[in-house]
Structure 1
Amino acid sequence: MKSEKEKMLSSELYNASDEELTRERDYARNLTFEFNHTRPIEKDKRQEILKQLIIAKGSFHIEAPFNCDYGYNIEVGENFYANYGCTILDVNKVTMGDNVLLAPNVQIYTATHPIDPIERLSGKEYAKPIAIGNNVWVGGGAIICPGVKIGDNVTIGAGSVVTKDIPDNVIAAGNPCRVIKGI
């Protein structure tokens, strides 16, 4: 029988109140609290805290405040940058390639809930992974919804709500986000 964490990572309905998951979320929340309350000049301390949270394949920088659910489901490539107010609900995997730039207040949500109200009232939820390619710039206030894949060399306009996959080499914007033009 699968654990609630295994169900969560398999995009199946799971109980978010599970003891193991609650403990892991609390661990991440304590680390993000510590990160968000460091002084700007404490760069080394900030990096050490973030290295306990996320998987980074190279150099990266995240501005405070930053929030996430677990941290260990976030993987970033070389030269990753997240500006102020980034929230990543990493209930499932969030992978980002090299040279990804997130403007202020970008929100990335893998978490979702059943549409059926009776099922939703059960307290169970599920999540879908998100993948963002290389050389991507996500404009301020954009929201990336569960299960979305964004290709390489993409610019997502500010305020966009990305509900569907975005192919390589395009500029996309709007609510819902759609391709505006090729690059």
Structure 2
Amino acid sequence: MTTEREKMLAGQLYDAADTELKTLRLAAREKMAQFNDELDRSKRKELVKTWFGSTGDNVMIEPRFACDYGVNIHVGENFYANFNCTMLDVCEIRIGDNAMLGPNCQLLTPLHPLDAIERISGLEYGAPITIGNNVWLGGGATILPGVTLGDNVVVGAGAVVTKSFGDNVVIAGNPAKIIKTL
């Protein structure tokens, strides 16, 4: 039998009101409150390392961080996220080494059915986000469900990334498009 959590992580329709998922979200909210109220950077770092699915040793996230679960987030070595980062992780978010996220960045894996009756029923689904090594997201960048960014990608401030891009590009705009090859 497949659980709602297994369906969620597989990108299938799932019931977000499931008891297990509500319990996991509540635990994440408690950790978010603890994280966002902590002034000591080293204590915030240790909390993230015990909360996320996996991290490198050198991880720094500034406060006002928000997520759905946290356990579905995986960040590499030398990860930095500036103020007000949101990572909605109903599916996995995987970020490589040496990634920098400017303030107010959003990585959003959830999706909702287009059919109104299905959407109103409370069913939802998602798609994972994968970001390579040496990636820089400018302030206010939004990465949508199912996007993969290769290595050495720079995302311009305020960009809305609706599709995947390979290595060594600068992308910007809404929707984001390649403006320069590196």
Task: Report the Cα distance in structure 2 between the residues aligned to 1:44 and 1:128, rounded to whole angstroms.
Answer: 32
C-alpha displacement of 1:132: 0.2
- Give the TM-score, by structure 1 length: 0.97
- 1:35-92 superposed Cα distances (whole Å, 9 cap, x missing partner): 10112xx223212221222120331100001011111100001100000000000010
Match of 2:18 in 1: 18
Structure 2 gaps, min length 5 = none
Aligned residues: 181
Match of 2:41 in 1: 43
Task: Report the Cα distance in structure 2 between the residues aligned to 1:58 and 1:97, rounded to whole angstroms.
Answer: 13
Match of 2:128 in 1: 129
Within 5 A, what are the aligned runs for 1:1-183? 1-39=1-39, 42-54=40-52, 55-183=54-182
Task: Report the Cα distance in structure 2 between the residues aligned to 1:88 and 1:81, rounded to whole angstroms.
Answer: 13
Q: Report the residue type matching 1:48 in the other structure.
A: E
- Give the TM-score, by structure 2 length: 0.97
* Partner SS, residue 60 of structure 2: strand
Determine what percentage of the aligned residue pairs are the same residue.
Answer: 54
Runs of 4+ aligned residues of structure 1 deviating over 6 Å after TM superposition are none
Range with bigger deviation, 42-51 or 18-27: 42-51
Structure 1 gaps, min length 5 = none
